[in-house]
Amino acid sequence: MIQLVWLIPLLPLIGSVINGLFGKRMGKTAVGLVACVAMVASFLISLSIFIKILSLPVAERSVEVTVFNWITSGAFKLDVTFLIDPLSTIMILIVTGVGSLIHIYSIGYMHHDKSFWRFFCYLNLFVFFMLMLVLGANYLVMFLGWEGVGLCSYLLIGFWYEKKSASDAGKKAFVVNRVGDFGFILGLFLLFWSLAGHGITSLSYKEVFANIHHLDPSMLTIITLLLFVGATGKSAQIPLYVWLPDAMEGPTPVSALIHAATMVTAGVYMIARNNLLFSLAPYTGEVVAVVGILTAFFAATMGLVQNDIKKVLAYSTVSQLGYMFTAVGVGAYTAGVFHLMTHAFFKGLMFLGSGSVIHAMGGEQDMRKMGGLHGHMKTTSWTFIIGAIAIAGMPPFSGFWSKDEILWETFEKGHHYIWALGLLTAFLTAFYMFRQVFMTFTGRCRADHHTQHHLHESPKIMTVPLIILAVLAATGGIIGIPFFEEGTAAHHFLNSVFSSGQHVVNHAVAGGGHVANAAGESEAIHGGLELIMMGVSVAVGLFGIFLAALLYYEPMKKFAPSFWTPENLAARFKGLHTLLYNKYYVDEIYDALIINPIKRLCWYCWRFDLGVIDGIVNGAGWVTRLVAWLMHKFDVYIVDGTINSSATFVSWTSSFWRRLQSGYLQNYALVFVIGLLLIIGGALLGW
Amino acid sequence: MTNLLNINYYAVAPELVLIGFAFLVLILDLLLKGRDKAVLGYVTAFGLLVSIPVSYFTNEPVSFSGMVAADSFSAFFNIVFCVAAFLTTLISMDYMKKAKADRGEYYYITLFAVIGMMLMASANDFVNLYAGLELMALSFYVLVAFKINDNKSVEGALKYFVLGALSSGILLYGISFLYGYAGSTNFAEIARAASAGSSQNMFLILGVCLTVAGFAFKVALFPFHLWSPDAYEGAPTPVTALLSVGSKAAAFAVFLRFFAGSLAVLQPHWAMLIWVFSAATMLYGSVVGVSQKNIVRMLAYSSIAHAGIILIGLLVTNDKGSSGVLYYLLVYAFMNIGAFSVITLFVRNNGKGANICDYKGLASKRPWLAFFMALFMVSLAGIPPTGGFTAKFFILASAVNSRYYLLAGIAVVSTVISLFFYAKVIFYMYMKEADDASVFTASPGAALYNVVIVISAVATVLIGIFPSVFMDMAVQAVKPLLM
Amino acid sequence: MLTLSHYLILSLLLFSIGVAGVLTRRNIIVVLMSLELIFNSVNISLAAFSYYLHSLTGMVFVVFNITIAAAEVAVGLAILVCVYRRRRTTNVDELDELKG
């Protein structure tokens, strides 16, 4: 079964090719069918591989499948190899599983779009690249996927390219991602270059990890920091998160699949995959954790005041990604991947839910114009609420288990400030999510009459994926419940992947003197502490929900103190509100600090040129002018000329040599005989 | 002596199969009347298909007193010939009707040409090499002239014939010197004499020079290439496809067996000659290709340029270079026949569809065909992920490995120049709008073209994506040469 | 006493005459005759080598060549007939439709 792994990415690729080439003529039903069948088939194969992996002994759960050897030339060898291990299995399950649901949902959501086929072509292509990213057994295949998903993301953000904001958002995502990718490429180059110094030319994870101890820690720190720069771009972390909220210009299923469930988690996956490298570079780990938690916190604060239904979810995504980075930064890789999975469920669910709402509202995204939708769309609202409860971290829903594990691990590993900030973020998350729920689904409908008239529940093809995702969001936390003696099911499953990195981390801790005493005693204390922590985070979440209810839930409003209304609060904390509302002016700051200075620099250069250089030129008189003139001529005739004249030269040579082909038979024979004589003459002279 | 005279018919099984089919087609042509003759093409194609497995399983390295070497090397070439002839036969059925030259002899003459190529590929002696070469050449003279009511066709054939006969005479003269030098026409004997005696022997030098000229004519190396654009343009388009792929591959087979195999000891002496040939040919082909307006002529020059690049692999007398040649020829067969199939589909008797500018706006009228044509052009230009790229890559890698840096550089320059005209076709197809879309209407027999085009496209891409599979085959095939 | 060189020089002369004929004669029929001359010059050379090397291969090869040359002439004349039908000329210089 595992040998069939190549089918998993191939099927979406085939789907994409079919839709890309024939889609225009195939009709919408066929297009949707092709895309979804490819995805579901791919999911089923992933599922069977997962089951197969489960049945294998732990030690044999990492299988490399070489699909083909692309090019071998001397010592240089390039393979397309897939790595099946617990981590990649989980990732392919998420990508194909959530991907299938979102594909099915999209059939309904995109039904009226004229570029239906183009959408599915891109979407399938995205899945293909994403699967290459997570399945690749060497850095090159991962990089191929990494760039590929970036391309698809760009294409899909700008899917409605007629809209200026959409194409601008696409461009912004592209540029910001390039900044990150530059760091990523630099990191990869540095890694290969430094390994090549030790005679390792292979790019495969196995070889790299086995030989990573050759590198000295400072080099590893630089490499991992550069890789992390790539991750901040792809996974929208400070300082490169700015593209993700804008990316909401894309169709909602795209936001759900690419900008919530899968692509943006690529950075987390990358760090988890390279856990050994990051564990060996503790300083980078610190940086990752701090950046992660700061992102989580600031994104959450920005989410508090957004009015666009998708923007709230976007900031929430950035914030949750921050949690994941915090987890992998402190070395809690399992917790990070576990949260990645539950997040895929509930955030995918909420995006699709918001899509359903937007669909019903006829394209309206402003929550201030919604309200009371619960009465009109029961399925959407219930599933959305389940998602909100999950993300708010209420037991026993999935978000509770994963978020709590992250918080607990940070606390346990001694990062108390991070933990505190995480707890605060959990409170904010609960607050803004329920603010959204109450504003959208409860109270009086604030939409105009026309829209109200058209409110309707979405078709089955959209609600069924919602229900499935809601079930997953509610129950997906099971694998995070500590059933096993050595930890949760997730730990148990992923342990083999992270053991090497974990070992390094533990070793470092042990070396630092924090040796755990008698195992039993500490276990007991930890167990108790963990329960208390759980209680605290639940309480914090409940408090957040309660405050949101006081502000935005009609039946609760009467219990609130008189100043406790959104308007009053906004007025009282006007400065803070404006700051948050304008997203800390980060876009403006970037403009002011980076983009404008560059423009200004150009302008100064120009002024300098004008004022000083020209002054000197004038002062120096005609001699200098002659030089300038000569330079100009050089430019025109030599530089430009070389380019143009090489083309001219080729065509001139071409027409010259054409004349050899005169059409006269005996000329041909003559050339033939002359050629022969030249050969013989050359040979007799001994060449 | 008795065991030397081992007449082993298994060694020529693929040839015998095709001879059988050729006579079957000949007899059917006499018996069938009118519309029933349509079956001739299918019988021919079937015969060529049958010959592929037979070639694959034929392995009799020493037979007919060492005259025939039916080894893995000849098997590889036989398969290339059969595939090429199979594909061109499929596209010629409709074309010949269109050109009003639908006569039965076309098919069995094609088969005889293939038999000639096969004899060349397995020849280990100048006598049967020459017999094979003449069988192929005579068949091609007739095929080029097949549109007897077309001025260009007969003119091209006449030029091809006179120059071809001249080159045969020169080749033969060279063979006579080699015979005088070694006392035998057998490759192995000549190789033995060459390694034993002085390399400055007059007969040897003359013999080698004259035979090189003879084969260089078949491969269309500068300056012995002058026949090829004229013959290519005049010939019926499917014949051009077969001529550019089959006859070239057969001549390369001989080149490889005789020069890279038997005369490998003298490599330092002939290396300079081949070096100059290679550099001049690829530069000439790509430069003159730039100013062509007729697409078939453009492909003729492209074919000359490709021959120059393939020659690099011959110069590098090791397994990398030789297997690179085989690999390149395999890829070239598919991409070139693919491109010619698209042209064959569109070319009209009145000359419409023969110029590059006739392909204006193909992308909007027939997007699929335009896509495939673009694919073939991309592959001919040597851009990944197509087979054309990997083929160039292997050849250039072998050149760099053997320190022919300058030649590799020239190959890159030639590739860049040739990009001009390949891109021109794509440019016309995609960037311009058609003035006269009537050219793009499909003829009734278009299904067969589509089959050929799709097979060629799939093969071109497949070879590009899984090069190692085909490279292994090529490496296996050249093993007997390098022993 | 006739030596190998005599035969070879004769062969070379005939060969040169043949090549010169191909290069200079404007009438296609004469060109074809010159081509025959080339083939026969080779036959002389092969036969001479065969005789002086005491090897039969050369003689066999000559027989092959004569046969093939016959076929060659047949094909050549057939093409010539086609050309004449279309163009009403046997002058090679008038066939220059294909060039460039």
pLDDT tens track for A524-558: 566 677 788 888 888 888 888 888 888 888 777 77
Residue ranges per structural domain of chain C? 26-91
Helix (H, G, I), strand (E, B) or coil at A373: helix
Kindly state whether C19 is in contact with chain B, defined as any CB-CB distance less than 8 angstroms. Answer: yes
pLDDT for A483 equals 58
Angstrom CA distances, C63 to A569, B184, B187, B345, C56, stand at: 112, 16, 20, 44, 11
pLDDT for A517 equals 41
> Cβ–Cβ of A687/B393 closer than 8 Å?
no
Kindly state whether C5 is in contact with chain B, defined as any CB-CB distance less than 8 angstroms. Answer: no
pLDDT for A475 equals 85
Read off the pLDDT band of A511 (50, 70, 90).
Answer: very low
How many Å apart are CA C93 and CA C76, to the nearest integer?
Answer: 17
pLDDT for B282 equals 93
pLDDT for A63 equals 83
Per the model's pLDDT, the better-predicted residue between B132 and A517 turns out to be B132
Distance from the C51 Cα atom to the nearest Cα atom in chain A, whole angstroms: 27
pLDDT for A61 equals 81
| pTM more than 0.80 | no
Strands B68-70 and A76-84 come out as: unpaired
pLDDT for A57 equals 82
User: Does residue A54 have a pLDDT over 90?
Assistant: no
Which of C19, C92, C100 lies closest to A665 in CB terms? C92
Q: How many beta-carbon pairs below 8 A join chains A and C?
A: 28
**Distance from CA of residue A372 to its chain's centroid?**
34
> Cβ–Cβ of C79/B154 closer than 8 Å?
yes
Positions of chain C with pLDDT lower than 50, given as ranges: none
**Distance from CA of residue A310 to its chain's centroid?**
17
- A411-A413-A417 Cα angle (round to 5): 45
Half-sphere exposure of C46 (CA within 13 A, CB side): 28
Q: Which two tokens stand for residue B447?
A: 């299904």
Kindly state whether A69 is in contact with chain B, defined as any CB-CB distance less than 8 angstroms. Answer: yes
Read off the pLDDT band of A523 (50, 70, 90).
Answer: low
pLDDT for A516 equals 40
The pLDDT > 90 percentage for chain B reads 52
CA dihedral (A192, A196, A197, A200) in degrees, to 10, reads 120
> Residues near A404 by Cβ (< 8 Å), separated by ≥ 6?
A393, A533, A534, A537
User: Does residue A599 have a pLDDT over 70?
Assistant: no
Kindly state whether B467 is in contact with chain A, defined as any CB-CB distance less than 8 angstroms. Answer: yes
Mutation target among C9, C43, C65, C91 for the B interface, most CBs of B within 10 A: C65
**Distance from CA of residue B462 to its chain's centroid?**
20
Question: Mean pLDDT of all residues in chain B?
Answer: 89
Read off the pLDDT band of A512 (50, 70, 90).
Answer: very low
Mutation target among B212, B259, B278, B291 for the A interface, most CBs of A within 10 A: B291
Q: Which residues face B60 on adjacent strands?
A: B70
Helices (H), A110-204: 116-135, 139-157, 164-196
pLDDT for A520 equals 45
pLDDT for A214 equals 81
Distance from the A429 Cα atom to the nearest Cα atom in chain B, whole angstroms: 48
Average of per-residue pLDDT across A291-316: 88
User: Does residue A641 have a pLDDT over 80?
Assistant: no
Which of A70, A654, A684 lies closest to B288 in CB terms? A654
| Sequential DSSP letters for A399-425 | HHHHHHHHHHHHHHTT-HHHHHHHHHH
Angstrom CA distances, B384 to A359, B123, B330, B389, stand at: 43, 36, 17, 5
pLDDT for A194 equals 84
Give the model confidence (pLDDT) of A379-421 as tens digits.
Answer: 888 999 999 999 988 888 888 888 888 888 888 888 888 889 9
Answer for the pair A124, A12: CB distance below 8 angstroms, yes or no: yes
> Cβ–Cβ of A673/C99 closer than 8 Å?
no
Mutation target among A658, A664, A671 for the C interface, most CBs of C within 10 A: A664
pLDDT for B2 equals 45
How many Å apart are CA B165 and CA B159, to the nearest integer?
Answer: 10
How many Å apart are CA A327 and CA A336, to the nearest integer?
Answer: 5
pLDDT for B472 equals 87
Per the model's pLDDT, the better-predicted residue between B367 and B85 turns out to be B85
Which of B155, B162, B291 lies closest to C98 in CB terms? B155
Residue B350, exposed/middle/buried by CB under 10 A (0-12, 13-18, 19+)? exposed
Distance from the A662 Cα atom to the nearest Cα atom in chain C, whole angstroms: 5
User: Does residue B470 have a pLDDT over 80?
Assistant: yes
> Cβ–Cβ of C61/B169 closer than 8 Å?
no
How many Å apart are CA B108 and CA A634, to the nearest integer?
Answer: 65
> Residues near A466 by Cβ (< 8 Å), separated by ≥ 6?
A105, A349, A352, A353, A356, A379, A380, A383
Instruction: Tell me which chain B residues have a C-beta less than 8 angstroms from the C-beta of A681.
Output: none
> Cβ–Cβ of B230/A669 closer than 8 Å?
no
pLDDT for A71 equals 65
Read off the pLDDT band of A257 (50, 70, 90).
Answer: confident
Kindly state whether B206 is in contact with chain A, defined as any CB-CB distance less than 8 angstroms. Answer: yes
Kindly report which listed range (A131-135, A544-548, B308-312, C14-18) carries the lowest average pLDDT score.
Answer: A544-548
Longest dimension (CA), chain B: 72
Nearest residue of B to residue C42, measured between CA atoms: B173
pLDDT for B178 equals 92
Which of C49, C64, C83 lies closest to B179 in CB terms? C49
Kindly report which listed range (A450-464, A496-510, A631-645) carries the lowest average pLDDT score.
Answer: A631-645
Nearest residue of C to residue B180, measured between CA atoms: C49
Average of per-residue pLDDT across A364-379: 83
Kindly report which listed range (A234-243, B142-151, B224-233, B318-327) carries the lowest average pLDDT score.
Answer: A234-243
User: Does residue B9 have a pLDDT over 70?
Assistant: yes
User: Does residue A572 have a pLDDT over 80?
Assistant: no
> Cβ–Cβ of C96/A662 closer than 8 Å?
yes
Mutation target among B173, B187, B284, B295 for the C interface, most CBs of C within 10 A: B173
> Cβ–Cβ of B159/C98 closer than 8 Å?
yes
How many Å apart are CA A551 and CA A459, to the nearest integer?
Answer: 32
pLDDT for A513 equals 41
Half-sphere exposure of A450 (CA within 13 A, CB side): 3
Nearest residue of A to residue C19, measured between CA atoms: A673
Q: Which two tokens stand for residue C1?
A: 């006493």
> Cβ–Cβ of B287/A21 closer than 8 Å?
no
Would you tell me which residues 654-673 of chain A have a C-beta closer than 8 angstroms to some C-beta of chain C? 658, 661-666, 669-670, 673
Read off the pLDDT band of A521 (50, 70, 90).
Answer: very low
Nearest residue of B to residue C48, measured between CA atoms: B180
Answer for the pair A225, A287: CB distance below 8 angstroms, yes or no: yes
User: Does residue A164 have a pLDDT over 60?
Assistant: yes
Nearest residue of A to residue C92, measured between CA atoms: A665
DSSP A4: G
CA dihedral (A20, A23, A28, A30) in degrees, to 10, reads -100
User: Does residue A343 have a pLDDT over 50?
Assistant: yes
Residue ranges per structural domain of chain B? 2-482
Backbone angles phi, psi at A81, to 5 degrees: -125, 140
Answer for the pair B144, B160: CB distance below 8 angstroms, yes or no: yes
How many Å apart are CA B45 and CA A642, to the nearest integer?
Answer: 52
Angstrom CA distances, B172 to B133, B139, B161, B179, B417, stand at: 11, 19, 16, 10, 37
User: Does residue A277 have a pLDDT over 80?
Assistant: yes
The Cβ of residue A435 has, within 10 Å, a number of other Cβ atoms equal to 26
How many Å apart are CA A163 and CA A309, to the nearest integer?
Answer: 19
User: Does residue A509 have a pLDDT over 60?
Assistant: no
Q: How many beta-carbon pairs below 8 A join chains A and B?
A: 96
Average of per-residue pLDDT across A632-651: 66
pLDDT for B324 equals 92
Residue A64, exposed/middle/buried by CB under 10 A (0-12, 13-18, 19+)? middle
pLDDT for B46 equals 94
Q: Give me the interface pTM, i.e. the ipTM.
A: 0.96
Which of A658, A663, A669 lies closest to C98 in CB terms? A663
Question: Topology of domain C26-91, per CATH?
Answer: Helix Hairpins (1.10.287)
Average of per-residue pLDDT across A575-587: 74
Would you tell me which residues 637-666 of chain A have a C-beta closer than 8 angstroms to some C-beta of chain B? 650-651, 653-655, 657-658, 660-661, 663, 665
Read off the pLDDT band of A628 (50, 70, 90).
Answer: low
How many Å apart are CA A226 and CA A242, to the nearest integer?
Answer: 19
> Cβ–Cβ of B166/C38 closer than 8 Å?
yes
Mutation target among B161, B190, B211 for the C interface, most CBs of C within 10 A: B161
**Distance from CA of residue A581 to its chain's centroid?**
25
Helix C28-53 × helix C4-24 angle, to 10°: 170
User: Does residue B360 have a pLDDT over 90?
Assistant: no
Q: What burial letters (b/e) apply to A617-637, b meaning 16+ CB within 10 Å?
A: eeeeeeeeeeeeeeeeeeeee
How many Å apart are CA B423 and CA B374, to the nearest integer?
Answer: 9
> Cβ–Cβ of A657/B212 closer than 8 Å?
no
pLDDT for C97 equals 83
Q: What burial letters (b/e) apply to C23-50, b meaning 16+ CB within 10 Å?
A: bebeebeebbebbbbbbbbbbbbbbbbb
Which of C19, C46, C98 lies closest to B230 in CB terms? C98
Kindly state whether B468 is in contact with chain A, defined as any CB-CB distance less than 8 angstroms. Answer: yes
Instruction: Tell me which chain B residues have a C-beta less than 8 angstroms from the C-beta of A21.
Output: 368, 371
pLDDT for C8 equals 92
User: Does residue A617 have a pLDDT over 60?
Assistant: no
Nearest residue of C to residue B127, measured between CA atoms: C61
Give the model confidence (pLDDT) of A102-121 as tens digits.
Answer: 999 998 888 888 888 888 98
User: Does residue A578 have a pLDDT over 80?
Assistant: no
Q: Which two tokens stand for residue A553?
A: 């839930």
Instruction: Tell me which chain B residues have a C-beta less than 8 angstroms from the C-beta of C32.
Output: 162
Q: Which residue numbers of B have CB closer than 8 Å to C's CBs?
A: 126-127, 130-131, 134, 138, 141-142, 145, 148-152, 154-159, 161-162, 165-166, 168-170, 172-173, 175-177, 179-180, 183-185, 229-230, 233-234, 291-292, 297
The pLDDT > 70 percentage for chain B reads 96
Angstrom CA distances, B150 to A170, B101, B154, B347, C83, stand at: 58, 10, 7, 14, 9
User: Does residue B200 have a pLDDT over 80?
Assistant: no
Place of tokens 């330079």: A631
Answer for the pair B324, B398: CB distance below 8 angstroms, yes or no: yes
